[in-house]
Amino acid sequence: MTKQLQSIKARFGIVGTSHLLDAALETAIRVAPTDLTVLITGESGVGKEVFSKIIHALSSRKHNDFIAVNCGAIPEGTINSELFGHEKGSFTGAVSDRKGYFETVNGGTIFLDEIAEMPTDTQSYLLRVLESGEYLRVGSSKVQTTDVRIIAATNVDLEERVRKGKFREDLYYRLNTVPIRVPALKDRREDIPVLFRKFAHDFAEKYRMQPIRLDEQAQFALESYRWPGNIRELKNVAEQISVLSEERMISAAVLQQHMPQLFSRNLPVVADQNGAGRQFGSEFQEREIFYKLLVDMKNDINDLKALIFELVSSNNLQMPDVSGLRRLQPPAGFTRQPGRSSIDDYSLGEEDTAPSDSHGVTPIIIEPSKRGGTYSQEDEEDAPLAMDEIEKEAIRRALKKYNGRRKEAAEELKISERTLYRKIKQYNL
């Protein structure tokens, strides 16, 4: 299979040594001699149409017609006419009979790209073609037959479309007889330098100029980029740099000057031995998300502690002596503006924008002057429950005082109305 793979790659201009790419090509080569329906999946720009041409070229239909149809580019009102043809007078503008693709390509291969965009009624007609080879022209009652091999492609999750009722389940299973997954460029990063070099040489040969080359840092930048446009985007970058850059040896600085989007990623940066910044790849995205989650949790915990502190201090309530527990103190990051007492007036200092100690939060407590007497060990174990009861009782009294009006009760408790509403639900008041 190795020699055949190399021959296919050379014939169709496929560059790369990724095992994922080779696996997809091997599947295409094996299924080509049959008449089985093939569903090619992959992101936009990975070259799905090339795989359909490979299958057709290696099949027994290779001497017959091949046509590629973009289902997403044909208006919903005319796609049935395009695929199956129409009779004269069947609709406004139908001034004569017209043959559809299934009639003109009889005996050949039809490649239906963006199959997920096909309207529901057209899906029913296509299913009939797959099951019996029969179809009807628009405006006709005469059954036509066709012998066409169908290769479909999509860049979306068809199973998800089926679950949402936007794609017929029976059609999906008929199309998915042999699935071929074309890998995205980010899944075959080892091929990026080779592809870039090919595009640079092709462009230089076309316009009779010296081809550009990448230094080590520029190559690293290309390999680290996510490439949402895949091979199509990489080709555009190679051509743009070939035209815009006066230098033929492209460094990371030159690459960033002309293509800043390659470096616009909010990920951690580490400096190499030369002091140049290198950004980690997509494997660190989960760590960044987790870090943001920790910061959000820290802010929520600080808000809750500030609420308890404000409730106890403003209502002159007593707290048990919890000397046996870890002593609490007002949070270092909270500052309060003079003359204001609402929790919303507390602000979080810069030092608290991330977890600051080994426990992940900075605690807060009541001033010693507000405390009452001492408690036994049993009372210390019940302290968290007593705190909840204090907070619940304070909210209940405020609501009773203002006959359930939350706005006045929130002002009495010196908390926001949103926080009060959340506490009412929490304590089922």
- 367 versus 30: the higher-pLDDT residue is 30
Q: Residue 279's beta-bridge partner residues? A: 269
| CATH, domain range 187-280 | 1.10.8.60
- How much is the pLDDT for 420? 81
| Placement of tokens 């129409």 in the chain | 86
> For the chain, which residues make up each domain, given as ranges?
2-183, 187-280, 291-427
Q: Which CATH fold would you assign to the domain 2-183?
A: Rossmann fold (3.40.50)
> To the nearest whole percent, how much of the chain has pLDDT over 70?
76
What global pTM score does this model have? Answer: 0.60
- How much is the pLDDT for 146? 95
- How much is the pLDDT for 344? 44
Given a cut of 80, whether residue 200 has pLDDT beyond it is yes
228-279 per-position pLDDT tens digit = 999 999 999 999 999 988 889 999 888 888 888 877 654 444 444 444 444 4
Nearest to 372 by CA among 329, 317, 308: 317
Contacts of 257 (CB under 8 A, 6+ apart): none
Q: Residue 40's beta-bridge partner residues? A: 153, 180
84-130 per-position pLDDT tens digit = 999 988 888 788 888 999 999 999 999 999 999 999 999 999 999 99
- How much is the pLDDT for 364? 44
